[in-house]
């Protein structure tokens, strides 16, 4: 199976309300800013909070934002169970994984049939399925903020500037955060801080 060498296929996985689409958008805006081709797609259900959200982005491509799971280069997971579900679907290929270490405890049981796996079990499975695993330390990142609005997505975006393959410089990143999230004065301060802090809390496992 041939593939354009320049292309980078990224999958984003998480839950409604985590700002996944904004994260994809920040990366796309950075690409546009540096003159690269880019496209992305969002897959989500309704407007309620808490459902599955996925986004797929391709750098240096402009036609189909969707790609086969066996063709994914980078998986960015903002919730463990959502991330593992995607990794499960990949056959015969291990991607690089960047994971926010967050696990949502679910108390809604759709038809009373689901059994939710334990967090440790999920951790183990993710580790086995990643070629390289990077963890974003949510607990320590969170401590930098007062109140209950924690912009994990901006934190991760900041961490992504340390990954060369994405080609996002700090200056570009900062500019994009300001462009996309700078309108609300109160939140723009929090987001600015998140962008400054984020890169400190990522580490390779």
Partner 1 sequence: MSVKRKNKIDNGIAETEEALFMGNHAVVQGLLEAGVGFTAAYPGTPSTEIQVRLAKLHEKGQLYFEYSVNEKVAFEISAAAALSGVRSAVIMKHVGVNVASDAMMALAYFGVQGGMIIVAVDDPGCQSSQNEQDSRFWGKFAHIPVFEPSTPQEIRDVIPKIYELSEKYNMLCMLRMTNFTSLSTGIVKHKPIEENLSWNGEFVREIKYQIPARYLLHKGLHKSLKALAKDPLFEEFISLKESSSSSERLIITHGAIYPIVEYMAELYNFNGDILKIGAIFPLNEEKIAEIVKKYKYIYFVEELEPYLETEILAIIGRNKLNVTVFGKEKLQIPYENSLRPDALKEAFSRIVADPNDDSVFYEIPDPSPLPKIFDSEELLIPRTLPRLCDGCSHRGAFYSIKKATGEDFIIPSDIGCYALGQVQPVDVGDYWLCMGGGLGTALGMSKVNGKKVIAIIGDGTFFHAGMPALLDAVEYNHNITLAILDNSLTAMTGGQPSPSSTTWKRKNFNPINLEEVVKGLGVKWIKSVQAINVKENVKIVKEALEYQGPSVIIFKGECVVNKLRNMKTPVKPLSIDQDLCTQCGNCLIDFACPSIVKEDGKIVIKQDTCTGCGYCAMVCPVKAIK
Binding site for partner 1 (CB under 8 A): 1-3, 15-16, 25, 28-29, 32, 37-52, 62-69, 71, 81-82, 84-85, 88-89, 105-117, 121, 125, 147-148, 150
Q: How far is the CB of 204 from partner 1 (least distance, A)?
A: 25
Give the contacts of 102 (CB within 8 A, at least 6 positions apart).
78, 79, 80, 138, 152
DSSP element (H, E) containing 100: strand 96-100
Asked if residues 98 and 80 have their Cβ atoms less than 8 Å apart, the reply is no
CB atoms within 10 A of CB 106: 12
203 vs 136: CA distance, rounded Å? 7
Residue 162 interacting partner from partner 1, ligand SF4, none (CB closer than 5 to 8 Å by kind): none
Terminal Cα-to-Cα distance of the chain (whole angstroms) = 30
146 vs 192: CA distance, rounded Å? 14
Q: How far is the CB of 145 from partner 1 (least distance, A)?
A: 11
Q: Which of 4, 5, 48, 115 binds ligand SF4 (CB under 6 A)?
A: 48
CB atoms within 10 A of CB 179: 13
In the bound state with ligand SF4, the residue whose beta carbon lies nearer, of 104 and 137, is 104
Q: How far is the CB of 150 from partner 1 (least distance, A)?
A: 7
Confirm or reject binding of residue 148 to ligand SF4 (CB under 6 A).
Answer: no
Confirm or reject binding of residue 108 to ligand SF4 (CB under 6 A).
Answer: no
**How many chain residues are in contact with ligand SF4, going by CB under 6 A?**
2
In the bound state with partner 1, the residue whose beta carbon lies nearer, of 43 and 162, is 43
Residue 114 interacting partner from partner 1, ligand SF4, none (CB closer than 5 to 8 Å by kind): partner 1
Q: How far is the CB of 196 from partner 1 (least distance, A)?
A: 22
Residue 201 interacting partner from ligand SF4, partner 1, none (CB closer than 5 to 8 Å by kind): none
Confirm or reject binding of residue 47 to ligand SF4 (CB under 6 A).
Answer: yes
137 vs 124: CA distance, rounded Å? 17
Q: How far is the CB of 17 from ligand SF4 (least distance, A)?
A: 11
Give the contacts of 60 (CB within 8 A, at least 6 positions apart).
4, 6, 7, 8, 36, 37, 38
* Binding residues for ligand SF4 (CB under 6 A): 47-48
């Amino acid at each position: 199976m041939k593939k354009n060498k320049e292309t980078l296929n990224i999958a984003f996985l998480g839950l409604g309300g985590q700002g996944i689409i904004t994260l994809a958008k920040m990366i796309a805006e950075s690409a546009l800013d540096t003159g690269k081709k880019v496209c992305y797609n969002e897959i989500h259900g309704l407007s309620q909070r808490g459902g599955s959200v996925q986004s797929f982005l391709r750098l240096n491509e402009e036609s189909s934002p969707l790609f086969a799971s066996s063709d994914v280069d980078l998986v960015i997971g903002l919730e463990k169970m959502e991330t593992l579900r995607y990794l499960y679907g990949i056959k015969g290929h291990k991607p690089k994984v960047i994971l926010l270490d967050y696990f949502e405890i679910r108390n809604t049981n759709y038809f009373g049939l689901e059994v939710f796996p334990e967090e440790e079990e999920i951790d183990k499975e993710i580790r086995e399925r990643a070629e390289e695993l990077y963890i974003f330390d949510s607990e320590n990142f969170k401590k930098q903020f007062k109140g209950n609005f924690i912009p994990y997505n901006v934190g991760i975006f900041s961490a992504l500037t340390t990954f060369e393959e994405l080609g996002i410089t700090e200056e570009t990143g900062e500019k994009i955060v300001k462009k996309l999230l700078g309108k609300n004065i109160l939140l723009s301060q929090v987001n600015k801080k998140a962008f400054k802090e984020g890169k400190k809390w990522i580490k390779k496992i």
